[in-house]
Each structure stands twice: as structure tokens, then as C-alpha cells.
Structure 1
Amino acid sequence: MSQAVFSLARILVVVLFCVSGFQKLMNPAGVATLVAGKGLPYPQVLAYLTIAAELGLGLLIALGFYARTASVLLAGFTIATIVVFHNFWSMSGEAARLNQIQALKNLSIVGGLLMIAAAGPGRFALNRR
């Protein structure tokens, strides 16, 4: 029973990334515009890397295929999004409040990803590394 719950939890941690990555895949130009708006170089390249991180790594974790490695990579990606896109400490008013909520949500997700990295994918996975 606990292995089934663990596998369900592994999947639920990455649902957000899979859905978001798929939505971004449907509009990579919009993602590139958001990236460019933050002053980052190579917005088209970063847009596709974002899609690969969210959708690709999210699916690997959900399937339990190289889940430890994918979890560490996705945790790093998520921390980067906090620093670049949800930098509430440099904002004020409602924008600061909303971005702080997003940053804290992302930080909580990083905790879940690191638990997957530490514990592995569980019994119900394509590989159990």
C-alpha cells in the first residue's frame, strides 16, 4: 500500500510541470516573449529548454524513469524560476505578494522533488534507480 501511495505522490508532484509544459509546447513563441521580457539571452532557445524541462523531466519522473536525476534537474530548474521570474524581493505591492506565493509554492515543490531524488521512484516505476 505505501508503495502505491508513494508512486501516486511521485506523479502528483509533477502534474503541474506536465500540464504547464504541454501548454507551453502549444505556444513556444509566447514563452519566448516572456523570457525576452526578463532580459534573458536567446529567448527562443530558452523557451524550448523550458518546455523540455517541464514536460520532459516531468514525464520522466511521472513514469519513474531516471526519476532521481530528473528530480534533481527539475528542482534546479524550479529554483531558477524563483530567482528569475518570481523575484518578489525586488517588487512591491500586489505583485510582490502574488510572486511571493508563487515562489513559496515552487520552493515546496522543490522539497517534494528532492524527496524523490533521495528516496528514488519507488516500486512502481519503469526503473528503480
Structure 2
Amino acid sequence: MASTTPITNPAQDSMALIGRILIAALFIPAGWSKLMGFAGTVGYITSVGLPLPQVAAAIAVIVELGLGILLLVGYKTRIVALIMAIFTVATAVFFHNYWAMPADKVMANQMNFFKNLAIAGGMLAFASFGAGRFSVDKQ
């Protein structure tokens, strides 16, 4: 029976590790900041009109901090990355909706919107190909 473990070389595994570190460097501090400033996070979510802002803030902390750590170490990477990709697209739509913003906020939010889409693309690559051998998953 053929193995389902992808065949990678040390350079690919090293790049996957560096990629996970760089993406985690965005999510983990953001999640920690939301946890430590939970009331402010709830207030910000309330300001954009999302329902259940406390639940949304808790989800943000879990995804950014909790799943960010799992991504960093490469545990359950495929499902973690898929959830993080969905979360990142959702945050782009709800928090960087440049098409509905005043002219002075369009440029920065358009850039952040497309940056979020690019991050989601990277997450989908991890969801597709795994974390590499330098991970808890070792694939």
C-alpha cells in the first residue's frame, strides 16, 4: 500500500516551519492583546455592529491565540489552517469592508482586506499540504 505522507525535503520542511512562525507572529500577539484588553475588543466588535460581541471576541481570542499556537507547533495543522483561513476572510469582510467606508479610510482598509485574503491563501496552502516534518504533525 502506498504511503499518504507527502515526500518533502529538508528545505521545504524548513520553509514550512518559517512560514508557520511568520504567520503565528501575526496571530498570537493579536490574540493575546485581545485577551488582555477583552472589554476593548468587545467594544470594537460592537462598534461594527456584529451580534453577540462577547462571543465574537471569545472566538477571536480562541482562533488567534489558541489556534495560532497550534499552527506554530504544527498540531492538527490542516484543520487549524482551514479554520484560520475562514476566520481571516470573515475578519476581512466585517472589519475591512473598504467599499462601505469614507474616502479617507478606503486605502488602508483596502490594503488590509487584501492582506487578509493573502493570509487566508497561505492558510489554505497549509490546509492542503500540511505543516512539514518539523512539526508535531510531521507532515
The alignment's TM-score, normalised by the length of structure 1, stands at 0.94
Q: What residue in structure 2 maps to residue 33 of structure 1?
A: 43
Q: CA RMSD in A?
A: 1.1
C-alpha separation in 1, matches of 2:114 and 2:50: 23
Percent identical pairs in the alignment equals: 40
Q: 1:57 aligns with which of 57, 67, 73?
A: 67
Give structure 2 stretches of 5+ with no counterpart: 1-9
What is the correspondence of 1:93-112 to structure 2 with a 5 Å cutoff? 93-112=103-122
**How many residues are aligned here?**
129
C-alpha separation in 2, matches of 1:54 and 1:73: 11
Q: Which moved more, 1:89-98 or 1:57-66?
A: 89-98
Deviation sequence 1:72-118 (CA, Å, 0-9, x none): 00000000011100000112312011100111111111111111111
The offset of 1:33, in angstroms, is 0.2
Runs of 4+ more than 3 Å apart: none
Give structure 1 stretches of 5+ with no counterpart: none
The offset of 1:44, in angstroms, is 1.2
Secondary structure at the counterpart of residue 135 of structure 2? coil
Q: What residue in structure 1 maps to residue 88 of structure 2?
A: 78
The offset of 1:4, in angstroms, is 1.6
The offset of 1:8, in angstroms, is 1.4
The alignment's TM-score, normalised by the length of structure 2, stands at 0.88
